[in-house]
Structure 1
Amino acid sequence: MKNLIVQISFLFLFNHFGLFAQDTISNEKIYIDNDLAFKYSDGQPFSGIAQIRKKNGQIAFEMEYEDGVILKQYVYYRRKKNNRKLATKVLYDPQKPWKEVTEIRYFSSFEEWTFYDENGNRTLKEQRKNGEIIYSCEYSGRKKHGQEMCLDDDGAKMFIEYVNGKRKK
């Protein structure tokens, strides 16, 4: 009985935290139909990671799918010999395939997070350094709309209000 409980616990943890091995295949081995990814080999919805490699074999992009639905996309910086560095990570809405929810861009000294609404419009952009927000700006589509926060030369927070792209006086 104790052994059965341990086995069920492991299955739960592996399933819950996505620890089962996933297929990793070339992006050329899948096709997209009605916003879902399918394997050419059997026509079944694809679960796993599809990779796009450069001519030299380095991974340039990875797309993570579950039951044909894209969940995440990773873009890597050009690096030397198996030393890839993440440049961008895009998280998609699992209920609306190919609708971005969050984009995270990685720079040498900070990360830039962009959040989107259910229609794909940008709502918020943040820059984070060591986990702390150093810049934040609310958007309505392409225009700043709401509060922008940045740091002055002394590191104190400054706030600016925008309405429909124009700075409020």
Structure 2
Amino acid sequence: MVSQETIGIKETYIDNNLIYKSVNNKLFTGIAQKKRKNGHLVYEEEYKNGIILSSNLYYNGKEKRVSNKIIYNPNKPLVLLKEHKYNLEGEVFETITYNDDGIKILVEQFEREKLTYSCQYLGKKKNGIEYCLNKNGAKTQIEYRNGKKVK
């Protein structure tokens, strides 16, 4: 494993969707972090050759726990691929998937690692099957086309 440089987010700058290290104006590879005065890690981003690969937003607490993780498209700077939202126990409770152009295509929600909701999207509109599992275990499926329910 290669050791990665860790610097403060304020030690970087963005130009043409690429991240550079301020001290030497070179494309940045490593981790850029934002910490509070008390040292609590709030947010960090991972870069390779100036391209953002992922970011983590952390819960405010004594432990270092991720609340949101975003994975970016390494071939298209700043375009989202996947977003994970975590509960305080560290379990994923929602995942949002994007296509190669960063357009939302799927939202999934989980309870204790079990899929309870899933809906296909085309951007902001529901497009495909919406699946729901209620508290009693009953399943519902509704089909949407371009945001409208298919009867």
Q: Same fold (TM over 0.5)?
A: yes
AA aligned opposite 1:138? Q
SS at match of 1:120: coil
Following superposition, which runs of at least 4 residues in structure 1 exceed 4 angstroms of deviation? none
Cα distance in 2 between the residues matched to 1:153 and 1:79: 30
AA aligned opposite 1:104? H
TM-score (norm 1): 0.82
Q: Which structure has more strand as a fraction of its residues? A: 2
Per-residue Cα deviation, 1:43-84 (whole angstroms, up to 9, x for no partner): 21111100011232211110000011100000001113xx12
Counterpart residue number, 1:34: 16
Equivalent of 1:107 in 62, 70, 87: 87
Counterpart residue number, 1:92: 72
Counterpart residue number, 1:165: 147
More deviation, 158-167/140-149? 158-167
Q: Does residue 126 of structure 2 align to residue 155 of structure 1?
A: no
Counterpart residue number, 2:56: 74
Gap regions ≥5 residues in structure 1 = 1-18
Cα distance in 2 between the residues matched to 1:60 and 1:142: 29
AA aligned opposite 1:100? L
Q: Does residue 126 of structure 2 align to residue 126 of structure 1?
A: no
Instruction: Work out the number of aligned pairs and report it.
Output: 149
Identity among equivalent pairs (%): 40
Counterpart residue number, 1:6: none
Q: Which structure has more helix as a fraction of its residues? A: 1
Report the aligned-residue RMSD: 1.6
TM-score (norm 2): 0.91
Cα distance in 1 between the residues matched to 2:41 and 2:20: 21
AA aligned opposite 1:119? D
Larger radius of gyration: 1
Cα distance in 2 between the residues matched to 1:72 and 1:129: 24
Residue 130 of structure 1, CA deviation: 4.1
